[in-house]
Structure 1
């Protein structure tokens, strides 16, 4: 920062930070609404565990803990809660007799689909009037950001 105030780059970085903050807040609201639709009072953390199982399962508890970077004790309590709600079920892991695989129940899949339905096409709606070249550019920029690359420097 100079004596005259923030540089153009600093102003641009602050604008990006602000927009990411808004996006994150919007995603949190969606997750909270979806969690409540799956089961009234469900916490966002339990919803994240459930969606991980539903989207990537069947998984062992260790695989979920590693993927979400959460404490195994907390995960165990959350899985018990999800089982009590009838959303997930355990089956023996055929490759490791000591472990169990977690997967969504049919009721869990149905409830998750119902919860996700209201915003199922939200991104498509938000971008439907954008020029396709702008959508591609957004994807390229996000890819570069998440992979710590310079845009267009393939």
Structure 2
């Protein structure tokens, strides 16, 4: 009886859930494609690490783990894999000699930027009929959703 007696206020959230489910399914598939374009052996989940490292420059593994909401062991495994592929490197943190900072290698950055630019071109083609203000509003709303998810 619970599902049949939903208030009208729930409809917006049900629609949001449905659309986000489709969007996330497509995003996962797209991330897998992007990861393979960067390197055939790159795990789809690791593509987001490259995005973050390009954005921030370099970070500690613990900061990356906190940002993505994963454990230290998972992050260490993903970073070792990226390091093994020559896409990232670790260097001692000048602020704390016991810690390491992770950054993209030149090869990792070049591969990532090539794929990112191709992805941006695809978005531009898919959203060609949209007003730039609509694109900006969608980006703003997604940013707001992501920020609240971090909290």
TM bucket normalised to smaller? 0.7 to 0.9
Q: Secondary structure, in 3 states, of the residue corresponding to 1:42?
A: coil
RMSD (Å), alpha carbons: 2.9
Give the number of aligned pairs. Answer: 148
1:34–1:115 Cα contact (<8 Å) kept: yes
How far the C-alpha of 1:130 sits from its partner, in A, is 2.7
Please list the CA deviations of residues 1-36 of structure 1 after superposition, one character each: whole Å capped at 9, or x if unmatched.
899865544344322222111211221121110111
How far the C-alpha of 1:57 sits from its partner, in A, is 2.5
State the partner residue of 1:22: 22
Counterpart CA distance in 1 for 2:97 and 2:111 is 30
Report the structure number with the largest CA radius of gyration.
Answer: 1
Counterpart CA distance in 2 for 1:10 and 1:72 is 37
- The runs of 5 or more residues in structure 1 that have no matched partner are 149-154
1:57–1:103 Cα contact (<8 Å) kept: yes
Moved more, 53-62 or 79-88: 53-62
Q: TM-score, normalised by structure 2?
A: 0.78
- The runs of 5 or more residues in structure 2 that have no matched partner are none
Counterpart CA distance in 2 for 1:47 and 1:3 is 38
How far the C-alpha of 1:112 sits from its partner, in A, is 0.7
Counterpart CA distance in 2 for 1:66 and 1:129 is 37
State the partner residue of 2:92: 92
Counterpart CA distance in 2 for 1:80 and 1:107 is 16
Please list the CA deviations of residues 94-143 of structure 1 after superposition, one character each: whole Å capped at 9, or x if unmatched.
11111111110010011112222332133333333234554465456556
Counterpart CA distance in 1 for 2:133 and 2:126 is 15
